[in-house]
Amino acid sequence: MNKPFGNDVPELAAYVTRVYEPEDDILLEIRERSAQEGLPDIQVAAMDARHLEILVRACAARRAVEIGTLGGYAGVSILRGMGRDGSLDTIEISPKHAEVARESFAKAGLAERARIHVGSAETILPHLASAAPFDFCFIDADKERYPYYLGWAGDHLRSGGVVALDNAFLFGNLVESTRSASGESATAIAAMRRVHALLAQGGRFRATVLPTGEGLAVGVKL
């Protein structure tokens, strides 16, 4: 092991952010309006939004699914990675969050390519199945159900399609040594460990974890 996993030099993060400019005025407005509207400040980091756009571009996706819309920050990035004929089905359990996201897609000029489904993913995903196969799936909702969401992605992505999972480090709670006192539920920890096992060893994906702050797990469907 001659090289570390990840990099925590703050000057490097500042350099990359300065050069790659991951957050333009549209994304900044979404982040600020989401905060004003009282949404939790839990959208993906700006560089993670860029990672999503690039992963979508890399697999030439035209049809994407997102589980957990929040205010539309990641969804706008996913749509930006697709061509003019690309479309996003995004699922959000909170009607209020969905309204904020609706405005975000409109302001980004992407309203006609974003379908927001309000409700629980477990109710909505079965309805999306008839539109499969999809090219890209971003999982960023309740951590306890990540294994179910990954299973759905495995069933409904095309071969060569990509799945990405936010918060793959479970806020430091994935491993014992960095587990925080406030903690995550034992159920969430077990679920996140199960999802890593499924992604890495389940035989349906070739996968890795990008060592971003939150951990971005990425798999290509075999």
Which run of H or of E encompasses 156? helix 146-156
167 binds Mg ion (CB under 5 A): yes
Does position 184 bind ligand DHB by CB under 6 A?
no
Full 3-state SS string of 53-91: HHHHHHCCCCEEEEECCCCCHHHHHHHHCCCCCCEEEEE
Site string for Mg ion, 117-156 (x = CB under 5 A): -----------------------x----------------
Under rule CB under 5 A, residue 92 binds Mg ion: no
Q: How many residues bind Mg ion (CB under 5 A)?
A: 3
Does 167 engage in binding with ligand DHB (CB under 6 A)? yes
Does position 166 interact with ligand DHB (CB under 6 A)? The reply is yes
Closest-approach residue to ligand DHB (CB): 42
Contact 59, 136 (CB under 8 A): yes
Q: Decide if residue 47 touches ligand DHB (CB under 6 A).
A: no
When asked if residue 66 is in the footprint of Mg ion (CB under 5 A), the reply is no
Shortest distance, position 167 Cβ to ligand DHB, whole Å: 5
42 in contact with ligand DHB (CB under 6 A): yes
Q: For residues 157 and 216, which CB has a smaller minimum distance to Mg ion in the complex?
A: 216
- Residue type at 212? T
Query: CB neighbours of 163 closer than 8 A, spacing ≥ 6?
Result: 136, 137, 138, 139, 150, 153, 154, 157, 199, 205, 218, 219, 221
Which tokens go with 187? 């159920």
Nearest CA to 137 out of 160, 120, 118, 119 is that of 160
Task: Give least dist CB 113 to ligand DHB, A.
Answer: 23
Report CA-CA distances (Å) from 180 to 77, 93, 185, 188, 215.
Answer: 31, 27, 11, 14, 16
Which residue lies nearer to ligand DHB by CB, 74 or 86? 74
Contact residues toward Mg ion (CB under 5 A) are: 140, 166-167
Contact residues toward ligand DHB (CB under 6 A) are: 42, 140, 166-167, 214
